[in-house]
Amino acid sequence: MPAPAVPRREVDGIVLLDKPEGLTSNAALQRVRRAFRARKAGHTGSLDPLASGLLAVCLGQATKACGFLLDADKTYRFRLALGSRTSTGDRAGETVDTAPVPPLEPDRVRAIAASFLGESTQVPPMYSALKHEGERLYRLARAGVEVERAPRRIRIERLNWLGAGDDWLDFEVTCSKGTYVRSLGEDLARALGTVGHVASLRRTALGPFTGERMQTLEAIEQAAASSGLEGLLLAVDSALPGLPPIQLTGVAEASILQGRSVLLAGPGSAQVRMYGVGGKFLGVGRMSAEGARLAPERIMVELPPSPASRA
């Protein structure tokens, strides 16, 4: 007989997972969800199976904050292997081109890295989850099909050279949403006068989460066995420190939770974090252009039952 289904429960919060190499982001998400027995879970931006590091897993009401984190800047550390280019842009692919590696003079490496700072365009790699006519690009690439991809606007906020060997360079990059580090690595190698691919990739920061301790899957599953999971959860509003807070009265809170706007002074045309009686985080709202009315946009708490459902 099949094992009985494990009952799910309501869990709200964010877990900063240190995803290991060799595991897809979805597989890692499902293990965290099973450990917490959470009814609902999502993550904020996939990491390739060969990549490791910060994967913010949002549980319960925190899944409504995923969109804010998807748009956030991200920081990665990566090793660029020089002298060979692969079909995938990383070490998982087959070698498709080779070239000599020129002397890696520090001043030249730093100057080339600096030339990538700011806004530019980048052509997404074929081995990506973007779609072309409804089909994932990586599926087309595996079938030997290459299609034209439109360049996209990206921003490199920071690109620091960390170290070097005879045929490799280590970098740390902070970049905007939609930046492919594999493509950046190939472009860096080309600017250096050779070819290259990303040999290792680790995400170290995501939006507001820059220094918090990440949890391994083993630590999460051990905490589940000892009933210590709640201590691993970050509050839902920890994903939104850039939004100004607005405190509501009890009457205003009741109206907001029923989807109605309220008269309230605040910053004009701005998204805000809404807090109810006792400092409870309610979700995200938006102030009117004149800063006199607040309307709810994303409620991130369980709504009270309607009078009809109590009857």
Neighbour count for residue 169 (Cβ, 10 Å): 24
The rounded distance, in Å, linking the Cα atoms of 270 and 267 is 6
**Which DSSP string corresponds to 239-306?**
G-TTSPEEE--HHHHHHHHTT--EE----TT-EEEEE-GGG-EEEEEEE-TTS-EEEEEEE-SPPPPP
The rounded distance, in Å, linking the Cα atoms of 40 and 96 is 42
Neighbour count for residue 143 (Cβ, 10 Å): 9
Q: Which amino acid is at 87?
A: S
Strand-pairing partners, residue 281, are: 275
Which positions are annotated as active-site residues?
Answer: 48
Q: Which amino acid is at 96?
A: V
The rounded distance, in Å, linking the Cα atoms of 204 and 47 is 12
Going by the DSSP 8-state scheme, the letter that residue 258 receives in this structure is T
Strand-pairing partners, residue 141, are: none
Q: What are phi and psi of 164, to 5 degrees?
A: -155, 155
